[in-house]
Amino acid sequence: MLVKSVPAKDFKLIFDQGNFYRCKKFNLKVHRLNDDKDTVYFGAVISKKKDKLAVHRNRTRRLLREALRLSNLAGLGGMAFVFIPNEKGMGKSLVEYQGEIEDILKVINK
C-alpha cells in the first residue's frame, strides 16, 4: 500500500472531523479522505516544544511514516493519519513505533 503525505488543504478537515485515538507515545487523528483503496495518507505535527532540534523532529516524522508503511494497512485505503507525538514518543526506535501503530490499528479496524 502506498503512503503519501496528507494534502495541506485537508489538515483542518482531519482535525475538525477526524476521530481521536490516544496511545502511550502519540495521539492520532484519523479521517477517511476518499475511497482510494491503494493509498494511505500520513501527516505528523511535532512542535518545537517537544524537541528544539529540527533534525530530531524530522527523524521522528520519518520513523513514524516508515512504521506506518510497514504495518498491516489492509482495509484502510483512503484513510488519513495525523500523528501528534508526546514527550514519551520522541526519540524512540522504529520497532517501538511499529508496535504502537499495530496496536492502534487493531482498535481502528474494529
Give the pLDDT of residue 31: 94
Tell me how long the chain is: 110
Q: C-alpha dihedral over 36, 63, 9, 26, to 10 degrees?
A: 100
Ordered by where they begin, the domains of the chain are 2-108 (3.30.230.10)
What pLDDT is attached to residue 65? 93
pTM score: 0.89
3-class SS at 96?
helix
Dump pLDDT digits (tens) for 57-94.
999 999 999 999 999 888 888 899 999 999 888 889 99
Q: Residue 101's closest CA among 75, 47, 65? A: 65
pLDDT tens readout for residues 33-54: 887 888 899 999 999 998 899 9
pLDDT band at 100 (very low <50, low <70, confident <90, very high): very high
C-alpha–C-alpha distance, residues 20 and 15, integer Å: 9
C-alpha cell at 16: 475538525
